[in-house]
Structure 1
Amino acid sequence: MIQRTIKKYVIDSLDLYPVIVLTGARQVGKSTLAISLQEEFDFHYVSLDDIDNRRMAIDDPKLFIQYHGYPLIIDEIQYAPILLEVIESICNKARIEQKKSTGLFILTGSQDFQMMRGVSQSLAGRATIINMSPLSVNEIRGVEEKPFKVNMETMKKKFIYRSIDELFKEIHRGYFPELYNRRNHSSEKYYSDYMHTYIDRDVSEIINLKEKLKFHNFMQILASLTGQQLNYASLSKEVEVSAVTIKEWLSVLQASGIIYLLQPYHEMSMKKRIVKAPKVYFTDTGLACYLAKLKDYESLLASHFAGAFMETFVVNEIRKSYLNNNQEFDAYYYRDNNQNEIDLILLENAQLTLIEIKKGVSFKLSDVKAFKQLKNSQYKIKESCILCNTEKNYPLSQNIFVMSVNVI
């Protein structure tokens, strides 16, 4: 079984919080991680995927907890959010009676609106929320994962070079654990089943989805737009639903961990000239390939989607490197009305790291001329870079590097 980087932080949280909430898209490995903790830390375990368990939890939540006991792992908690009130009461009682009040419950579930609202209201101060992503490249290879930094140490880092064909094979396959636990599993069959489950089960329980065909069409169109700026009016026209519905559906996909919205960067001095719409990224490139009807990696590599899918891959991997280390991913993109664009901006410790993402291998300083748009920023500009398919890292200047995507 592939070891998950985030597991260390879940274990650390058992000594700090009464409740740990594991969230993320379906099939990213939440249940597998929870079951491994059951075996190591002597937790009781129950899944609300089981209809009888779910009925008992909803009908008599107090009896449900008494019957199963605790410390307890409750898988798929979104199916019975009423349990959160009972869990709150147990946590409060443990504190008052000065009994063990940490590591009492591990809850897993998708980021369903009702569940997350319940966690915020009932378990404020009692729970930590840890987001799980699909597998990272580092996890697949069994390499230690640290938050990605652009500096001289990273530029000099030794890495195993993957050809562009190897990279795009992986981008096309995607990063769900099941595809790596069962290497012979057809990715097309896997994503077909995933979509059937997601649309017919999960989404229908989140919103009253009367027009499933239009929603499916919406997801297909959105997948072809990964790595691009959202245009709500254009999406509304193409899918033939209102802009309000488009925003509602985007919120559902975002809350369910299917997409990630990267917000535009601005400071007061540049507010008038920058774009305001976010960019959309599917959190798994394999799912996006399936929805965009890119049947194999050769089709992807030869298509006009190649650059956007590579950008999606890079943004996802950098984001995972932060989330998997339980750190905030404070990131943006820049685009102004003169078409100057910076693909990714990381804000950390009042300093900016500027990142351009390219499919090629050889670049000049003129390829990052957009970096100059932030020369008067209120923040200091740290070392910045172009991430690309180069076989060897090299500097363009003292503070701007060209680096392989393999160093992430």
Structure 2
Amino acid sequence: MLRRFWTMTAHHHGNLWNASAIANALGVSSPATSRYLDILCDTFIVRQLAPFSANLKKRLVKSAKIYIRDSGLLHALLGIHNHEQLQGHPIVGASWEGMVIEQILAILPNGIEPYFYRTSAGAEVDLLLVPKNGTPIPVEIKHSLSPKVSNGLRSVLDDLKCDRGFIVYPGNEPYQMTSRITALPVTMLKELVS
């Protein structure tokens, strides 16, 4: 049972957690799946990224997103044994997203809280860094050498009145995409919070 739960969790990596759907698939109660997930979170194996909620007129998603914090463990649970298999697997983008989120959160200074942002209409950013006394910083994470600015990122910049936003990508050089959006290589993550 636990192995099936692990595998299902791996398949939901980077997605909204739906305890009742997992419970139905496993034939257990929804509270049981929530307890299993709590154990994985308490042991630092899984991260739950909470949705951002502010006093906005838009309806926001209320479920957390889940990430297996160790990408090697994620790949093993999904039967991915090498780089070639990963590149051809549908999880490649979510795997990259989870790895980048872990790297960002490892260097995040105190006083900045991480969230994700998604409206019920579908506007979304992968990571929203929210300082206690400051403007949120939206971050999109793209597994592409030529990332595009999403409508979701533009929407969040306007909805939350953000000064700037970032797209983290696997390239080597930072570059300005718009007046408020910068593409950053994963090697320059400290720029997000400086």
| TM-score, normalised relative to structure 2 | 0.89
- Determine the structure 2 residue equivalent to 1:339: 122
Superimposed CA distance per residue, residues 196-248 of structure 1 (whole angstroms, 9 cap, x where no aligned partner):
xxxxxxxxxxxxxxxxxx11110111012211111112111222211110001
Which structure dedicates a bigger proportion of its chain to strand?
A: 2
Question: Quick check: 1:227 aligned with 2:5?
Answer: no
CA contact (8 A) 2:118 2:124 kept: yes
Structure 2: 5+ residue stretches without partners: 190-194
CA contact (8 A) 2:49 2:64 kept: yes
User: Aligned equivalents of 1:310 and 1:356: distance in 2?
Assistant: 12
Structure 1 moving runs of 4+ over 6 Å = none
Change (3 A) 1:401 1:276: same
Question: Quick check: 1:330 aligned with 2:113?
Answer: yes
Superimposed CA distance per residue, residues 272-328 of structure 1 (whole angstroms, 9 cap, x where no aligned partner):
621110000111111111112212221111110000000000001001112xx6x35
Of 15, 19, 36, which residue of structure 2 is paired with 1:249? 36
Q: Which residues in structure 2 correspond to 1:67-216 (within 5 Å)?
A: 214-216=1-3
Q: Which of the pair has more CA radius of gyration?
A: 1
Amino acid aligned to 2:136: L
- Determine the structure 1 residue equivalent to 2:151: 369
User: Aligned equivalents of 1:309 and 1:328: distance in 2?
Assistant: 27
User: Aligned equivalents of 1:263 and 1:250: distance in 2?
Assistant: 14
Of 295, 306, 319, which residue of structure 1 is paired with 2:105? 319
CA contact (8 A) 2:164 2:180 kept: yes
User: Aligned equivalents of 2:111 and 2:30: distance in 1?
Assistant: 30
SS of the residue aligned with 2:136?
A: strand
Tell me the CA shift for residue 384 of structure 1. Answer: 1.2
Which structure dedicates a bigger proportion of its chain to helix?
A: 1
User: Aligned equivalents of 1:235 and 1:247: distance in 2?
Assistant: 9
Count of residues in Structure 1 that have an aligned counterpart in Structure 2: 187
SS of the residue aligned with 1:273?
A: coil
Amino acid aligned to 2:151: K
Superimposed CA distance per residue, residues 2-41 of structure 1 (whole angstroms, 9 cap, x where no aligned partner):
xxxxxxxxxxxxxxxxxxxxxxxxxxxxxxxxxxxxxxxx
User: Aligned equivalents of 1:304 and 1:329: distance in 2?
Assistant: 31
RMSD over aligned CA atoms reads 1.7
Question: Quick check: 1:385 aligned with 2:178?
Answer: no
SS of the residue aligned with 2:130?
A: strand
SS of the residue aligned with 2:67?
A: strand
Tell me the CA shift for residue 343 of structure 1. Answer: 0.5
Amino acid aligned to 1:344: L
Superimposed CA distance per residue, residues 132-180 of structure 1 (whole angstroms, 9 cap, x where no aligned partner):
xxxxxxxxxxxxxxxxxxxxxxxxxxxxxxxxxxxxxxxxxxxxxxxxx
Structure 1: 5+ residue stretches without partners: 1-213
CA contact (8 A) 1:265 1:332 kept: yes
User: Aligned equivalents of 1:353 and 1:391: distance in 2?
Assistant: 22
Question: Quick check: 1:296 aligned with 2:82?
Answer: yes
Tell me the CA shift for residue 332 of structure 1. Answer: 0.7
- Determine the structure 2 residue equivalent to 1:356: 140
Superimposed CA distance per residue, residues 361-405 of structure 1 (whole angstroms, 9 cap, x where no aligned partner):
1234xx23213433243xx51321111122322101222111111
Tell me the CA shift for residue 329 of structure 1. Answer: 5.0
CA contact (8 A) 2:175 2:183 kept: yes
